[in-house]
Structure 1
Amino acid sequence: MYPILFKLGPITIYTVGVLHALAIAVAVWWAFRHTQKAGIDPKQFLDLAVIIIVWAVIGARVFSILFDGNLSGYLQSPHKMLMVWEGGFTFYGGFIFGLAAGVWYVQKHKWNSWKVADLMAPALALGLTIGRLGCFFSGDSFGKPTNLPWAVTFTSPYSAAPTGIPLHPTQIYSVITNFIVFGILLWWQKRQKFQGELFLVFMMLYAVTRSFVEVFRNDPRGVYLNGLISTSQIISILVAGTAVWLYFYRSKRVRSGVIVSEAK
């Protein structure tokens, strides 16, 4: 599509970078405007956001290096691990590292971890919606060849996707599913019964929708069993399973009166 937004002399501004930066900014903005409801100091929240973003970027890069199928290439040319402008980030790596860093910061400041997690859930879904638009413009995370009427054909020589071949618009599938998840979370937010419920619902919905989109993807990202399952699908199974268990565990504790039954 349009992998290069514009050039300023020797400097190239890539569309994916701009949209990913916008995705982060919008996600932080969305969560920031709801901090008072969660009883969080806005300034401290921004500190938390910076820590999460830094570690999420590190985690996304580490997982890409380890699991996207090019580990041997990185070991032969270690300097390429630092060439982040060429792409190579994995959401689940960022999610896991960012979550760990966030939990550490929240525990350090003795905040309510589940309240903070609920605050982040819609922001994550909204940020992912915008971020996947960046993937579409760059041709990253491209799909399998198809003759469906909504197939997309990339023509730019700078595209990460193969050119001249009609492909599943998997990036748009992700945009749509992530925005649907965002809408469901806004609806669920008014009906949640316990703290942490919104975040757990996000984990379940994202894992399911991500696994669905993975079926149509064809980019190098780490696949196993002759392409039957990808790294992200394996992680999605673990994430969904963990979220379902925690959801029913906390629901049971609400019914038994062990934890507070409202999420305000």
Structure 2
Amino acid sequence: MPSLSPLSIPSPPLEFSQFQIGPLTIHIYALFILAGIVAAMLMVNHRLTKRGGEPGVVIDIVLWAVPLGIVGARIYHVLTHGSDYFYEGADLWRVVQIWDGGNALYGSLIGGAVGAAIGCRFAGIRLWSFADTLAPAMLVAQAIGRLGNWFNHELFGLPTTLPWGLEIESTNGAFPVGLPEGTLFHPLFAYEIIWNLVGVVLLLALERRFRLRWGKLFALYLVWYGLGRAWLESIRIDPSSDGFLGVPANVWASFAAVLLGIILFVVQTRRHPGLETSVYRAGRGPRPVVNKKKKGADDEVSTGLESVDESAASGEGSGERWTDDELKAASGTSAPLR
């Protein structure tokens, strides 16, 4: 396919989008999604542990969040592509054939949120604490996952004469009729990768500067991602979703994410002006670790577990050291701290 610019982005051959291992068909897109999930898990585990969470507790939450996220992604996709699944003579089994492709990120957020709430309940972790540690990790996962769209020849926008335009074969079903072969398109997947990575840096900087807790960092994630996705979806031309009032469903979902993020930030700022004292729910804490110390001929057994609130307030295990003023705000008392 001729290129209009030496800097244009070529699309990988479609045969590279999947490969066989015995009877199994492995999709490159799925591998990038899996890599994103693993990267997010590692990042959340590190961040949650720094705040006093038990190492590995994120696994207890992910075991609920990921499966329900997949279910939510599929349901959202089917509902926003109803014309592809519900018509006279349609094979309704296609609705559950997730291996044929068709998942939506906003659906995964909804389903994953339900799963995370359940997982946090069992693990004893505050949902908002988990959400805040997840916020930048989600953007990392989404950036990695978008590379799968490149292999699938999807998520591209309007034609462009910019030197970094994306090459799409004219035989692609989404290639606009009437355009000449060699037309370049906006590489929306690359734009979103850049947007997400910039968002990671921004969220981490804001968190460090303002100590954003109680779901406030997650609220900013919703605003940031929603704004970027609304713009990208508005110039997207490959099939993405059915529309309402001439506006694609994903654009409506992006507006909803921005609005929800703003409301969440305002509400949580008013309800929780102070700092978190612990990532654990009231009455819950990390499992005790038994340490044995020799004392003469006898063994002295110590659990090594302090009060969760005390250790969190002192900054132990969180990698943070709070000032007296910050601790006063967190505890709601004006008494001097010694």
Give TM-score, length-normalised by structure 1: 0.86
Aligned to 2:109: 95
Between 1:127-136 and 1:183-192, the stretch displaced more is 183-192
Distance change >3 Å, CA 36–CA 83, structure 1 → 2: same
For 2:134 and 2:88, the matched residues in 1 are separated by 33
For 1:103 and 1:236, the matched residues in 2 are separated by 22
Aligned to 2:144: 130
Structure 1 position 161, deviation (Å): 4.8
Say whether 1:45 aligns with 2:58.
Answer: yes
For 1:95 and 1:75, the matched residues in 2 are separated by 32
Distance change >3 Å, CA 74–CA 118, structure 1 → 2: farther
Render the CA deviation track for 1:185-206: whole Å, top value 9, x for unaligned.
1212212344222111111101
For 1:55 and 1:132, the matched residues in 2 are separated by 20
Partner residue of 1:188 out of 195, 202, 206: 206
Q: Structure 1: any 5+ residue segments left out of the alignment?
A: none
Say whether 1:117 aligns with 2:135.
Answer: no
Conserved? CA contact 2:234–2:251, under 8 Å: no
For 2:62 and 2:175, the matched residues in 1 are separated by 36
Conserved? CA contact 2:60–2:123, under 8 Å: no
Aligned to 2:294: none
SS at the partner of 2:50? coil
For 2:141 and 2:57, the matched residues in 1 are separated by 21
Aligned to 2:303: none
Conserved? CA contact 1:194–1:251, under 8 Å: no
Aligned to 2:224: 205
Letter of the structure 2 residue corresponding to residue 198 of structure 1: L
For 2:142 and 2:47, the matched residues in 1 are separated by 19
For 2:25 and 2:170, the matched residues in 1 are separated by 15
Distance change >3 Å, CA 149–CA 77, structure 1 → 2: same
Conserved? CA contact 1:38–1:119, under 8 Å: no
Say whether 1:68 aligns with 2:87.
Answer: no
The structure richer in helix per residue is 1
Q: Structure 2: any 5+ residue segments left out of the alignment?
A: 1-10, 278-325, 331-338
Conserved? CA contact 1:74–1:81, under 8 Å: no
Structure 1 position 141, deviation (Å): 2.3
Say whether 1:27 aligns with 2:45.
Answer: no
For 2:60 and 2:52, the matched residues in 1 are separated by 15
Conserved? CA contact 1:121–1:202, under 8 Å: yes
SS at the partner of 1:155? coil
For 2:111 and 2:245, the matched residues in 1 are separated by 27
Structure 1 position 75, deviation (Å): 7.8
Conserved? CA contact 2:45–2:56, under 8 Å: no
Letter of the structure 1 residue corresponding to residue 63 of structure 2: V
Distance change >3 Å, CA 234–CA 75, structure 1 → 2: farther
Structure 1 position 128, deviation (Å): 0.3
Conserved? CA contact 2:63–2:119, under 8 Å: no
For 1:8 and 1:201, the matched residues in 2 are separated by 42
Distance change >3 Å, CA 152–CA 73, structure 1 → 2: farther
Letter of the structure 2 residue corresponding to residue 171 of structure 1: F
Aligned to 2:184: 166
For 2:209 and 2:87, the matched residues in 1 are separated by 49
Structure 1 position 241, deviation (Å): 1.2
Aligned to 1:17: 30
